């Protein structure tokens, strides 16, 4: 069984005797509107070609979908003018490869729409759309649109280059500030380390010094109960001539 009777007729050849009699009769009655016995092979071939051609023409391709998939701007191209020319040429190539010539041949407005919708980067697309808002005639003038896209692309590239230079300069300044801070921190660390070492050395020398007894203040008058060591009443213990240091501490 054949899903499409026209394809069945064509696939089984143009020899009338080889075609299903019931199918041929139906085709003659409903498509050709002539008696089946009046059909010739030439009539049958022409009728089938006409029907299949109409089916192909009615199946309109998804132009925007095809372009979105295949129309690309080469942002790696450093020459902006050459980049835009290549982009417009790429559209013509997609039209040729995918058989879109009949649809787009005299449809400048659709071509302009295709160009704008597939522009990259997004900032360039926005710039061109703003230009079209001020000059709606650009929607259907492919040549003027080319000039506008080229001019806006140059502006976009200049702004991007300026941003990169400023970003690079800011990064360099940050690196220099970071290096200076690291140098300052290193000097401060070395200074603090040196101070700690000096303090330790100073403390070590101080520990080796003999402890000095605090000078005793001369007391006025003899002790009321006399010296705690010899019991004489004319001097204090620290002035006792017969007591040594140990005896003075233990008294």
Residue finishing a domain among 131, 158, 185? 158
Residue 198 lies in a domain: no
Q: Are 147 and 72 part of one and the same domain?
A: yes
Q: Are 43 and 77 part of one and the same domain?
A: no
Q: Are 82 and 53 part of one and the same domain?
A: no
Gyration radius of the chain over CA positions: 53
Q: Quick one: pLDDT at residue 11?
A: 47
Residues 48, 38 contacting (CB under 8 angstroms): no
Q: Quick one: pLDDT at residue 217?
A: 59
Q: Quick one: pLDDT at residue 53?
A: 61
Q: Are 153 and 98 part of one and the same domain?
A: yes
Q: Are 67 and 133 part of one and the same domain?
A: yes
Q: Quick one: pLDDT at residue 163?
A: 87
Q: Are 89 and 152 part of one and the same domain?
A: yes
Domain that holds residue 20: 5-58
Residue 193 lies in a domain: no
Q: Are 112 and 141 part of one and the same domain?
A: yes
Q: Quick one: pLDDT at residue 106?
A: 87
Q: Are 72 and 146 part of one and the same domain?
A: yes
Could you give the number of structural domains in the chain? Answer: 2
Q: Are 82 and 10 part of one and the same domain?
A: no
Residue 44 lies in a domain: yes
Q: Quick one: pLDDT at residue 237?
A: 72
Each of the 251 residues of the chain gets a pLDDT tens digit; together they read: 445 554 554 444 454 666 778 887 888 888 888 888 887 878 877 877 777 666 555 556 899 999 999 999 999 999 999 999 999 999 999 999 998 998 898 899 999 999 999 999 999 999 999 999 999 999 999 999 999 999 999 999 999 889 888 878 777 666 666 666 676 666 677 767 677 677 666 655 555 555 555 555 566 677 777 777 787 777 777 788 887 888 777 76
Residue finishing a domain among 158, 188, 217? 158
Residue 234 lies in a domain: no
């Amino acid at each position: 069984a054949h899903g499409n009777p026209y394809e069945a007729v064509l696939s089984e050849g143009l020899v009338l005797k080889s075609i299903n009699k019931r199918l041929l009769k139906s085709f003659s009655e409903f498509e050709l509107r002539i008696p089946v016995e009046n059909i010739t092979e030439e009539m049958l071939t022409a009728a089938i070609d006409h029907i299949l051609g109409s089916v192909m023409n009615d199946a309109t391709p998804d132009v925007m979908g095809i372009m979105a998939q295949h129309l690309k701007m080469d942002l790696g191209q450093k020459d902006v003018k050459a980049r835009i020319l290549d982009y417009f040429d790429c559209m013509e190539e997609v039209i040729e490869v995918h058989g879109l010539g009949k649809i787009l041949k005299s449809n400048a407005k659709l071509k302009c729409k295709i160009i704008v919708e597939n522009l990259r980067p997004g900032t360039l697309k926005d710039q061109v759309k703003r230009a079209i808002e001020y000059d709606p005639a650009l929607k259907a003038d492919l040549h003027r649109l080319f000039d506008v896209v080229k001019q806006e692309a140059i502006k976009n590239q200049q702004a991007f280059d300026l941003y990169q230079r400023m970003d690079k300069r800011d990064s360099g300044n940050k690196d220099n500030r970071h290096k200076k801070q690291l140098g300052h921190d290193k000097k401060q660390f070395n200074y603090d380390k040196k101070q700690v070492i000096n303090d330790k050395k100073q403390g070590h020398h101080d520990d080796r010094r003999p402890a000095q007894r605090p000078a005793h203040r001369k007391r006025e008058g003899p002790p009321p109960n006399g010296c705690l060591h010899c019991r004489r009443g004319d001097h204090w213990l620290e002035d006792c001539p017969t007591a040594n240091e140990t005896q003075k501490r233990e008294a």
